């Protein structure tokens, strides 16, 4: 990724991109125009002053450029298309039609209300129907959506719906358990609380046995299902 400036080049502004309309999963957010890097750094200086410190003191002089670079990593999910990641599916399943489960995928995201970290893990499962995909691709789709400003419910839905639309499996299940630092380090200050969300599609929704099998594989968390 070469930096936010790239965002203001004509190629990116050449929306409304027909490609993005092909699938609902790729039209998640409008693409706003990104400001130049110096504006982003100035905004960090303003926040440092808001915190009560002096952005000109020695220890903080380089902080705005570091924060802006960190933002590029934390939010690089805006520059990626989940369909591209999953495009290389392996059609040959050799008759394999059992559940594929990826447990404990580390989630590092940021809440869209406070920009505070959301740290946790995701469990993803699907029942293949002709198409299977490399497990690293599943993890990358999770990471892509995590590297955007999020609420956990939306992230859960986006991951499940993307896999459902691209792989067209018999079913998809996604469970995310995460701690929200806007809640654990401030506000209501509940340090040990985690939130568990889930989205079940296809057989995972309609067949209680399939759902139970999946939930027991991931340790039976008390899930809160998103319709």
Active site residues: 111-114, 152, 180, 182
From the list 26-34, 62-70, 103-111, 164-172, the region that binds Zn ion by CB under 5 A is 103-111
Does position 113 interact with Zn ion (CB under 5 A)? The reply is yes
Cβ of residue 191: shortest distance to Zn ion, in angstroms? Answer: 15
Contact set for Zn ion, span 158-217 (CB under 5 A): 182
From the list 25-33, 63-71, 108-116, 170-178, the region that binds Zn ion by CB under 5 A is 108-116
Using CB under 5 A as the binding criterion, the count of chain residues that bind Zn ion stands at: 4
The residue with its CB nearest to Zn ion is 182
Burial 195-214 (b: 16+ CB within 10 A, else e): bbbbbbbbbbbeeeebbebb
Q: Are 49 and 18 in contact (CB under 8 A)?
A: no
Q: How far apart are CA 121 and CA 103, in angstroms?
A: 8
Cβ burial, residue 149 (10 Å; 0-12/13-18/19+):
middle
Cβ of residue 17: shortest distance to Zn ion, in angstroms? Answer: 30
Q: How far apart are CA 178 and CA 85, in angstroms?
A: 24
Does position 111 interact with Zn ion (CB under 5 A)? The reply is yes
Instruction: Give the interface with Zn ion as residue ranges (CB under 5 A).
Output: 111, 113-114, 182
């Amino acid at each position: 990724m070469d930096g936010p400036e790239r965002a203001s080049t004509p190629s990116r502004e050449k929306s409304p991109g027909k490609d993005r309309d092909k699938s609902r999963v790729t039209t998640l957010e409008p693409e706003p125009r990104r400001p130049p890097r110096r504006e982003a750094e100035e905004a960090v200086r303003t926040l440092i002053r808001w915190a009560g410190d002096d952005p000109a003191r020695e220890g903080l002089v380089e902080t705005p450029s570091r924060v802006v670079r960190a933002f590029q990593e934390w939010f690089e999910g805006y520059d990626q298309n989940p369909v591209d990641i999953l495009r290389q599916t392996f059609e040959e399943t050799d008759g394999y039609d059992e559940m594929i489960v990826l447990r404990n995928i580390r989630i590092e995201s940021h809440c869209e209300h406070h920009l505070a970290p959301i740290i946790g893990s995701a469990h993803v499962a699907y029942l293949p129907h002709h198409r299977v995909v490399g497990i690293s691709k599943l993890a990358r789709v999770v990471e892509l959506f995590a590297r955007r400003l999020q609420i956990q419910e939306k992230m859960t839905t986006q991951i499940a719906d993307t896999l459902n639309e691209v792989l067209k499996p018999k079913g998809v299940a996604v469970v995310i358990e995460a701690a929200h630092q806007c809640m654990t380090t401030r506000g209501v200050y509940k340090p040990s609380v985690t939130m568990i969300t889930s989205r079940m599609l296809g057989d995972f929704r309609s067949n209680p046995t399939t759902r139970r099998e999946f939930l027991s594989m991931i340790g039976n968390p008390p899930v809160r299902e998103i319709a």
